[in-house]
Structure 1
Amino acid sequence: MSYVTDYLKLYDDGKVVWNKERIQLAEYVRKNILDNDELYFDERKIDNFVGFTEKWFFPLQPFQKFLASFVFLYRKADDTAFYRDFLWMMGRGAGKNGLISAISAFLISELNGVQAYDGSIVANSEDQAKTSVVEVSNVVHSHPDPLERAFYATSTLVRSRATNSVLKYRTSNGNTKDGLRDGFVIFDEIHEYHDASNVNVHISGLGKKLPPRVFYIGTDGYVRDGFIDKLKARAARVLEGKAQPDLIFPWICKIDEEDEADDPKMWEKANPMLSKPLTPYAKGLYKEIERQFNELSENPSGKEEFMTKRMDYPSQSQESSVAPWEEIAATNQPIPDNIEGRQAIGSVDFATTRDFMAAAVTVKYGDKLVTMEHQWATKVFVDRQYQYSRKDYGEAKPNQRLHIPIADWEEKGLLTIVRAPILDPKDALNWMGEMRQRFNIVEVVMDNYRASIMRAMFEEASFEVSIIRNPTAIDGLLATVIDNGFPNRRFIWGDNPLLRWNTNNVLVKIDGRGNKQYLKKEEIRRKTDGFKAFEYTLYSIDKISDQDVSGSLDMLAGLNF
């Protein structure tokens, strides 16, 4: 317990700089752990771990001793481990992998003393997954007496001779399902996972060997609405007292505000290795971060990488994104039940008929705007860009930035995959016809290019069509509505991860006149058709009422003039 109280005292004495989540963690630890007479730290194992690590691996920093202590926290009643899951998020260079290497070696060793307590390290690439196994192996071979008598070590596995416990690595493709009887599993590069499918494969054998432990380590990343966001939400519930204290151990290091990246004194919020006094390693790390920061003046395009990986704070710049991710995620509000019969604005958008097409309707609901959408994509395109037809899709190795779950969105009914080589605009027309059964669609908005293909068929179906003559110009006109709507939670989209993905793909540029333009962050794979369809509905939104007018229309239709 002394390592825990010592680290908390560093903050109390003003010797370290913490971010909001670590300040919350201190309060949480004092309330739920230190003041809980039903729990105990196994101080003998903690001291053994510290001695083992500092003798054979490296000197431990106070925050590392703090983290390790909670691995050996138990309930007095039955001596079961208090935590199964650990979330360690820190900026790049904070020594996550080194600490994991030392903990892995200790857990399989006779100092931990659990027979056949196997462990796996899982990452998206073989090189990354092997990092800790190779590091432990190198330490063993660097100290043949006594470590080679204690461990058998190769570049692929490390085995304790006393406990017959094995440390191995796995890649996250989920195909290595053999022998899943691990005592502990470590997931590296968690920012790259879109969902929990691969995680579930690798933890399926936990519990057969006690105590089970799962470590999730990494920095933040570029995949939004994915696995790491759900882990962060789970951690937030624990820190806020809205979930059971033992749900997960929540260690999150990041800057609190974007402009703190400009103040080197705040960098240790994201990277506790930078707390003073700096070790020789930390001095070199600081110089490297400083060099990357200074280069941003010459290479502003590197800011997203710097913010995400060094500051553990994905860039929220309004000059690069439509809105911060948490505001985009806030559109996940249930579609109200009582909106049938209201006036609506419809829209259609697509870049070409060979990839994606989107159709949308928006209705007013008090001061909220409710948008419903459907999209279509050609199978040829989604196969080529997102490996849609892979038989092992659900377990496939996720792409670092753009693992796109097309099949999941199709299953949710948000997307239709078209087997023909090109999209048929009649699909959008038919969908709009279905929406007309629910709403009084006042106009269908499209731009000049789409109108040349679709206007006639919509008008023949008795839709009023409104044409946007200069699509680029309306970005600036509608920016006020969009900039106001996201932070004020005005947009209701239901659970539509496809539209949220579209929106997060939008690049905001400001022209020489100060007008915003909504472009693409990446031309081919990061589709924005759904966002543009949503935006086009706002073009005529002032033409509709927020009242249900269906009853009035029925009454008028029944009058004999």
Structure 2
Amino acid sequence: MLHNKYVEEYIHKWKVGKLLLNKKRIQLICLIEKEILPKDDLYYFNDEQIENYIEFSESWYFELDEWETFIAPFIFLFRKEDDEPVFDDFTINMGRGGGKNGFISTLANYFISSLHGIDYYDVSIVANSEKQAKRSFLECYRTISKNGNEDLTEEFEAYKSSITGLETQSVFEYKTSNASSQDGGREGAVIYDEYHEMESAEIVDVFSGGLGKVDCGRQFFIGTKGFIRDGYFDIKFRECEDILNGTIPFEGIFPYICELDDLEEMNDPTQWEKANPAFQQPLNKRGKRLFNTVLKEYKKIANNPSGYSAFVTKRMNFIMDNTENSVASTKELYATDRPFFELNTKPIGSLDFGSVRDFSACGLLFKKGDEFAFKTFSFAIKNFVDVHYGYSNSANDTGTGKKAPIREWERLGLMKVVDEPSLNPAHIVNWFIHAREEYGVEKIIADNYKLDILRPLLEAEGFEVEAIRRPSSIHPLLAPRVEDGFANHRFIFGDNPLMRWYTNNVYVKETQAGKQFLKKEEVKRKTDGFQAFVHALYRANELIDENIDTSFDALEALNF
């Protein structure tokens, strides 16, 4: 069993109730206890490096908070086989004011020091603006240059644009996240400050290309949740969630995420510690000052509602569902995960065959009372899912936040990947033939695109096919039904993560013609299943929610 006093003390405090943690940090501890600490045959803590770092930080900067001394040992956790870090990616996400910048200041300065002892271990801090990028750098520069710190000035050469560790010749610099003006160097560590402002992975790709040229390469992503959706933050955050949920292995990435578990906790200041470890009880001087500031901001919201969103996002580190732009909130989306009612009535079939080179979706819509059940199946072209989701990569068996878990959805029987240059229409036709045998479907609604290929084949098999010439024209008509159905939990998709993914990839845009259901991202975030669902809803009024056989039996029983 691996032992480290800082890790053990942190976990003990949580277990005896002296530390209030949110769900994601509890998941992290559970993973550590299961996947790391028992494996003393594979890993080891470099206690000398851990103590050197903590002593260096507290001698020249400030006393580290317990969350910092908890994370530090994992920065210096190594594999026995090659003496490389077990975790080379640290994602640290918490409410504003938690001390993230101070933490990376001490790390950056330590990494270029003789105590760390790795030559040419350059460190770059990257941020969207120069002002943000310089924040931690200036803290180091001022600390080294301060009168009375002669020991530091003997070890480090500090200029306003770079700091050099004289013994290791390691250089600490700050840079802005303009990928076009940057080139990957030979960094030992790259720190991405306020990474929630990054709209894409472009700058990460540039700087990560320089890692691996020196020993013990590491990346740090620090920030608070922001307002840019579907950018790099969301990709990274979903990847962390996958790790914490056990979907992908706990290796490489160390996700330390502080947030409220529920928005209602915002109204109870005793719960704020979940979002910001600076509020850990008992509060130190800095924690008291920050707490009073945040409490004042909270009280102002009553008279200044415009500050509500910023307070929730930045102080409580909580992202609210944007119900204006999303077709369904997270809660509404997961409400579709209910068992189907008995599917013993004749359904309406539907189809989205928009592109034969990526995804196509078939569906059956059933009605019972005010509820609609949608049973769907998708086909995908192997080349497309290889390129965009790493389908054939054995390391991507269940997907990540970046890559949809196609293999997992295939195993669940929700879709089929076909190795063809374009989708053979026979797959669609055969699926509806089987659906007719099982459920009695006779009519299929589809968009007009490519229907010149499919219609003759479906009609030859005896199906009635109705084309929607301009699918966008029916969206304003169906928007009230869609909104009401999700809001009042009238839609049932069953346990179908693929259908939830399709739906989550849709946003609602207000136009002069009315509301449109559009893709959040054109290439990777597919919406085919949702569009097939909308096609079926277009003719939902034709559905009869009573079993016809039962009706005939009832008529025969009547004595006229």
* 1:188–1:218 Cα contact (<8 Å) kept: yes
Amino acid at match of 1:7: Y
Answering whether residue 35 of structure 2 is matched by residue 36 of structure 1, we say: no
What is the match of residue 13 of structure 2? Answer: 10
User: Cα offset for 1:187?
Assistant: 1.2
Aligned residues: 435
Answering whether residue 117 of structure 2 is matched by residue 113 of structure 1, we say: yes
What is the match of residue 341 of structure 2? Answer: none
Answering whether residue 136 of structure 2 is matched by residue 136 of structure 1, we say: no
Secondary structure in structure 1 of the residue aligned to 2:210:
coil
Q: 2:218 aligns with which of 213, 217, 220?
A: 213
Structure 1 residues 191 and 487: alpha-carbon distance in aligned structure 2, compared to 1, 3 A threshold: farther
- Measure, in 1, the Cα distance between the counterparts of 2:508 and 2:62: 41
Structure 1 residues 120 and 273: alpha-carbon distance in aligned structure 2, compared to 1, 3 A threshold: same
Q: 1:46 aligns with which of 45, 50, 60?
A: 50
Answering whether residue 542 of structure 2 is matched by residue 543 of structure 1, we say: yes
* 1:316–1:325 Cα contact (<8 Å) kept: yes
- Measure, in 2, the Cα distance between the counterparts of 1:540 and 1:490: 24
- Measure, in 1, the Cα distance between the counterparts of 2:539 and 2:304: 40
Structure 1 residues 363 and 36: alpha-carbon distance in aligned structure 2, compared to 1, 3 A threshold: closer
What is the match of residue 89 of structure 2? Answer: 85
What is the match of residue 156 of structure 2? Answer: 151
Once structures 1 and 2 are overlaid, which stretch shifts more, 62-71 or 148-157?
Answer: 148-157
What is the match of residue 223 of structure 1? Answer: 228
Counting only pairs closer than 5 Å after superposition, residues 132-281 of structure 1 correspond to structure 2 as 132-143=136-147, 144-178=149-183, 180-281=185-286
User: Cα offset for 1:285?
Assistant: 1.1
User: Cα offset for 1:277?
Assistant: 1.3
Identity of aligned residues (%): 34
User: Cα offset for 1:308?
Assistant: 1.6
- Measure, in 2, the Cα distance between the counterparts of 1:299 and 1:62: 35
What is the match of residue 130 of structure 2? Answer: 126
User: Cα offset for 1:155?
Assistant: 2.6
- Measure, in 2, the Cα distance between the counterparts of 1:486 and 1:161: 65
* 2:328–2:504 Cα contact (<8 Å) kept: no
Structure 1 residues 436 and 260: alpha-carbon distance in aligned structure 2, compared to 1, 3 A threshold: farther
User: Cα offset for 1:501?
Assistant: 5.7
TM normalised by structure 2 equals 0.67
Unpaired segments ≥5 residues, structure 1:
332-340, 347-359, 373-412, 414-427, 452-466, 508-516, 521-528, 547-561
User: Cα offset for 1:177?
Assistant: 3.5
User: Cα offset for 1:202?
Assistant: 0.9
Amino acid at match of 2:156: F
* 2:108–2:172 Cα contact (<8 Å) kept: yes
Secondary structure in structure 2 of the residue aligned to 1:14:
coil
Secondary structure in structure 2 of the residue aligned to 1:245:
coil
What is the match of residue 72 of structure 1? Answer: 76
Secondary structure in structure 1 of the residue aligned to 2:271:
helix
Q: Deviations over 1:35-84 (max 9, x none)?
A: 22132211111111111111211111111111111111112333221111
Q: Deviations over 1:244-268 (max 9, x none)?
A: 3323111111111111111111110
- Measure, in 2, the Cα distance between the counterparts of 1:244 and 1:202: 24
- Measure, in 2, the Cα distance between the counterparts of 1:487 and 1:265: 38
Structure 1 residues 120 and 327: alpha-carbon distance in aligned structure 2, compared to 1, 3 A threshold: farther
Q: Deviations over 1:92-149 (max 9, x none)?
A: 1111111001100001111101110001111112211121111111111114412222
Q: Deviations over 1:399-452 (max 9, x none)?
A: xxxxxxxxxxxxxx9xxxxxxxxxxxxxx97678778678865474989xx98x
Structure 1 residues 326 and 106: alpha-carbon distance in aligned structure 2, compared to 1, 3 A threshold: farther
User: Cα offset for 1:182?
Assistant: 0.6
* 2:510–2:516 Cα contact (<8 Å) kept: yes
Counting only pairs closer than 5 Å after superposition, residues 100-499 of structure 1 correspond to structure 2 as 100-143=104-147, 144-178=149-183, 180-316=185-321, 322-325=327-330, 343-344=349-350, 363-364=363-364, 367-368=373-374, 442=466, 444=468, 476-483=480-487, 484=489
Amino acid at match of 1:212: G
* 1:344–1:544 Cα contact (<8 Å) kept: no
Unpaired segments ≥5 residues, structure 2:
337-346, 353-359, 367-372, 379-421, 423-446, 459-463, 518-526, 546-560
What is the match of residue 26 of structure 1? Answer: 29
* 2:332–2:486 Cα contact (<8 Å) kept: no
Structure 1 residues 493 and 25: alpha-carbon distance in aligned structure 2, compared to 1, 3 A threshold: closer
Secondary structure in structure 2 of the residue aligned to 1:183:
strand
User: Cα offset for 1:481?
Assistant: 1.4
* 2:124–2:173 Cα contact (<8 Å) kept: yes
- Measure, in 2, the Cα distance between the counterparts of 1:434 and 1:291: 65
- Measure, in 1, the Cα distance between the counterparts of 2:226 and 2:169: 37
- Measure, in 2, the Cα distance between the counterparts of 1:71 and 1:476: 52
Once structures 1 and 2 are overlaid, which stretch shifts more, 268-277 or 44-53?
Answer: 44-53
